[in-house]
Chain A
């Protein structure tokens, strides 16, 4: 589904990703772990099409398409979703209204009619309930004054409603207490399906106790240094990045 080959990316002239290769198949959950500054979040942003990153080499294919040639909204319309580490506030725009605009923008791009109001309401209530999101939070302005946990749960709600093919979670666990972490993980697990792939980016092994990955990659200095099964995450937890990779890492 997603094929990254020798991806090189710089920010303000400084190389961050230095030849990263990764293949993610439909139905699989890949975890990417790595110390601060290893380039994890850069990877997430580049895949989603954020400005400010200069791709200096390599390629990324999403299905049959050249992902890097697409606008951010085209990537979303093609089924790529990024649950953000810091969801932004948009004052005056109700959470639910935003969600409906997003769904309809994607449907329109796919040549589908707008979602019927009743169907939308039924779905959003159902999903919100599963994520412990109250009616009141749906009516509030998007992310405005939301707690850290509320923001992250809301990201998962959007993910569930937009039904993407590829879900990228960028440090979704940061700032969550254990209960919120479990709710978020349950939300993600419910979305696992043979057609859908996940790229879970995290600093800590803790999230992977709840979202059990098929493959774990350890990133350092702009490259994937090791790949393995879920046991790699536990090994990392015991030995730390430096122990595992056997090198001193620049912070």
Chain B
């Protein structure tokens, strides 16, 4: 912890450290999207007929839909026919052991600081490595299997656990839910699958590392996590992409299901390429994330640290169906230069005595725009439901924007909702104070911002908290002075 600031310094000089590309031979579809593309994709993945038809139905649905326009971020029209919907490193078969992985891909992950190894530094973490459209490796599978925990790519899950996939896929985010969810349902390529059986407390953090490498493609991953009765799992995703002048689309869907007394903790450290100083390039991160607390006393907790992407547009949500279930959303969204973020959550209270807590910290610098948008809906059935929302914004400089758009709908008189919001600026006084004590201006900004976000950072798994702190400092480099 003491070295967090120290390490920020080591990063100075490289604006986006993960912006390299890997020279791998790939197999990819020509740009364009129609039913043929979807059927070919499904065939390559040797999917059962029900899934092929599910995809095709989603595509037809998508073709009737239009891009939403209620969001704050603005961007030029996206030509969906100009995107390639499948790109994968060429390999005859998925490597059977970690030793058979393409050395170039291995080097990529080494460079990213998460070597493909069942390593000691990350001994408490099992990792699924997703490279463009496919999962290339998963560590600690054996160890997890002994406990009955399934952790694999969703493509593997389709082959090996079709009954679970069929039962839960699309049960939280239906294919027609929204424009990007429909698109994802039609063309999703890979992602992670987790099943934790009854009564099992998953002994290690499960983590997926998403890497976009190929140009002119989109990444459409799909993640499905099911926590059976009385189980617990903590899952973390990380993401990076090369620096490119064009914008790349990342439209993921994440579905979580928690049954009676189960708990899922889902953490994200999102560091997609944000574009350059003038706003050129960067990832469009348009993601649908939703968890269903189906069981009584179940709990889903979202923690996100969003520092990357040209545009971040997502609302990790909880459907609090089971009585006494709990939903939490802890978010830090940092925007700098020309980045735009429109993020928040939805807490839908259905069950009795359901509780939700929202803590959102938005930091805007440069010419960026940062919006918190959140919905708390308490249905008639949600006797005694409670929500507490806290939304804090911090502005750095004179040219950025912060907006808070809370929607609160209460249909039950016994419910209690609280909303607190603040907006602050890093003051000259604070900066001067830190500098007078010998701390450089950039380290001072990182220190003050980390303090501002502490409540959220404390929610991150230990192994990743240090990394996330560093990231905050790096994202805001050059934001003052």
B-binding residues in A (CB < 8 A): 48-52, 71-73, 75-77, 81-82, 84, 86-88, 90-93, 97-98, 100-102, 104-106, 108-109, 114, 117, 141, 158, 162
* Count of CB-CB pairs between chains A and B under 8 Å: 88
Task: State in angstroms the CA–CA spacing of A105 and B437 once bound together.
Answer: 8
Chain A residues closer than 8 Å to B57, beta-carbon distance: none
Assess whether B432 is in contact with A102, with CB atoms less than 8 Å apart.
no
Task: State in angstroms the CA–CA spacing of A49 and B433 once bound together.
Answer: 11
Task: State in angstroms the CA–CA spacing of A162 and B436 once bound together.
Answer: 11
Closest chain-B Cβ to A46's Cβ sits at a distance in Å of: 12
Task: State in angstroms the CA–CA spacing of A77 and B3 once bound together.
Answer: 18
Q: What 1/0 flags go to B1-26 for Cβ under 8 Å of A?
A: 11101100000000000000000000
Assess whether B437 is in contact with A102, with CB atoms less than 8 Å apart.
yes
Assess whether A114 is in contact with B427, with CB atoms less than 8 Å apart.
no
Assess whether A109 is in contact with B433, with CB atoms less than 8 Å apart.
no
Chain B residues closer than 8 Å to A82, beta-carbon distance: 436
Chain A residues closer than 8 Å to B427, beta-carbon distance: 88
Task: State in angstroms the CA–CA spacing of A101 and B9 once bound together.
Answer: 13
Assess whether A73 is in contact with B451, with CB atoms less than 8 Å apart.
no
Q: What 1/0 flags go to B259-290 for Cβ under 8 Å of A?
A: 00000000000000000000000000000000
Task: State in angstroms the CA–CA spacing of A162 and B452 once bound together.
Answer: 25
Chain A residues closer than 8 Å to B439, beta-carbon distance: 73, 101-102, 105
Task: State in angstroms the CA–CA spacing of A72 and B437 once bound together.
Answer: 9
Assess whether A87 is in contact with B433, with CB atoms less than 8 Å apart.
yes
**When A104-B2, A108-B6 are in contact, do A92 and B454 touch as well, CB less than 8 Å?**
yes
B441 within 8 A of A: yes
Closest chain-B Cβ to A142's Cβ sits at a distance in Å of: 8
Chain B residues closer than 8 Å to A101, beta-carbon distance: 2, 5, 439, 443, 447
CB neighbors of A among B428-476 (8 A): 428-430, 432-441, 443, 447-448, 450-455
Assess whether B438 is in contact with A92, with CB atoms less than 8 Å apart.
no
A77, closest chain B residue (CB): B438
B1, closest chain A residue (CB): A97
Task: State in angstroms the CA–CA spacing of A105 and B453 once bound together.
Answer: 22
CB neighbors of A among B410-438 (8 A): 427-430, 432-438
Please tell me the size bucket of the interface on B: 20 to 34
Task: State in angstroms the CA–CA spacing of A106 and B438 once bound together.
Answer: 5
Query: Per DSSP, are chain B's interface residues mostly helix, strand or loop, or mixed?
Result: helix
B441, closest chain A residue (CB): A73
Closest chain-A Cβ to B434's Cβ sits at a distance in Å of: 8
Assess whether A48 is in contact with B438, with CB atoms less than 8 Å apart.
no
A143, closest chain B residue (CB): B433
Q: Pick the residue among B2, B428, B448 that contacts A51 (CB under 8 A).
A: B428
Task: State in angstroms the CA–CA spacing of A87 and B3 once bound together.
Answer: 25
Assess whether A93 is in contact with B447, with CB atoms less than 8 Å apart.
yes
Q: What 1/0 flags go to B58-81 for Cβ under 8 Å of A?
A: 000000000000000000000000
Task: State in angstroms the CA–CA spacing of A109 and B435 once bound together.
Answer: 13
Q: Pick the residue among A76, A91, A106, A117 that contacts B451 (CB under 8 A).
A: A91
**When A73-B441, A98-B447, A105-B440 are in contact, do A92 and B6 touch as well, CB less than 8 Å?**
no
Assess whether A109 is in contact with B428, with CB atoms less than 8 Å apart.
no
Assess whether A162 is in contact with B438, with CB atoms less than 8 Å apart.
yes
Assess whether A93 is in contact with B436, with CB atoms less than 8 Å apart.
no
Assess whether B433 is in contact with A92, with CB atoms less than 8 Å apart.
no
Known: A84-B436, A101-B447. 17 other contacts (CB 8 A): A51-B428, A73-B435, A73-B441, A76-B435, A76-B438, A77-B438, A81-B436, A88-B430, A90-B447, A90-B451, A92-B452, A92-B454, A97-B1, A97-B2, A102-B439, A104-B2, A141-B451
The 15 sampled A-B contact pairs (Cβ below 8 Å) are A51-B428, A72-B435, A76-B437, A88-B430, A90-B448, A92-B451, A92-B454, A93-B454, A98-B447, A102-B439, A104-B6, A105-B438, A114-B6, A117-B2, A158-B437
Assess whether B430 is in contact with A92, with CB atoms less than 8 Å apart.
no
Q: B436, B447, B448: which has the most chain A beta carbons within 10 Å?
A: B436
A75, closest chain B residue (CB): B436
**When A88-B427, A88-B429, A90-B430 are in contact, do A102 and B438 touch as well, CB less than 8 Å?**
yes
Chain A residues closer than 8 Å to B433, beta-carbon distance: 84, 87-88, 90
Assess whether B452 is in contact with A91, with CB atoms less than 8 Å apart.
yes
Task: State in angstroms the CA–CA spacing of A52 and B428 once bound together.
Answer: 10
Task: State in angstroms the CA–CA spacing of A114 and B7 once bound together.
Answer: 13
Assess whether A114 is in contact with B2, with CB atoms less than 8 Å apart.
yes
Closest chain-B Cβ to A83's Cβ sits at a distance in Å of: 10
Chain B residues closer than 8 Å to A114, beta-carbon distance: 2-3, 6
Task: State in angstroms the CA–CA spacing of A81 and B433 once bound together.
Answer: 11
Assess whether B450 is in contact with A92, with CB atoms less than 8 Å apart.
yes
Assess whether B448 is in contact with A73, with CB atoms less than 8 Å apart.
no
Task: State in angstroms the CA–CA spacing of A108 and B443 once bound together.
Answer: 13
Closest chain-A Cβ to B237's Cβ sits at a distance in Å of: 25
Closest chain-A Cβ to B4's Cβ sits at a distance in Å of: 9
Task: State in angstroms the CA–CA spacing of A109 and B428 once bound together.
Answer: 23
Closest chain-A Cβ to B256's Cβ sits at a distance in Å of: 29
Chain A residues closer than 8 Å to B452, beta-carbon distance: 91-92
**When A92-B452, A114-B2 are in contact, do A109 and B438 touch as well, CB less than 8 Å?**
yes
Task: State in angstroms the CA–CA spacing of A90 and B451 once bound together.
Answer: 7
Q: What 1/0 flags go to B294-317 for Cβ under 8 Å of A?
A: 000000000000000000000000
Chain A residues closer than 8 Å to B430, beta-carbon distance: 88, 90
Task: State in angstroms the CA–CA spacing of A90 and B432 once bound together.
Answer: 12
Q: Pick the residue among A52, A73, A84, A97 that contacts B438 (CB under 8 A).
A: A73
Q: What 1/0 flags go to B179-205 for Cβ under 8 Å of A?
A: 000000000000000000000000000
Chain B residues closer than 8 Å to A109, beta-carbon distance: 438
Task: State in angstroms the CA–CA spacing of A51 and B480 once bound together.
Answer: 14
Assess whether B448 is in contact with A93, with CB atoms less than 8 Å apart.
yes
Assess whether B437 is in contact with A162, with CB atoms less than 8 Å apart.
yes
Closest chain-B Cβ to A112's Cβ sits at a distance in Å of: 12
Task: State in angstroms the CA–CA spacing of A71 and B444 once bound together.
Answer: 14
B444, closest chain A residue (CB): A73
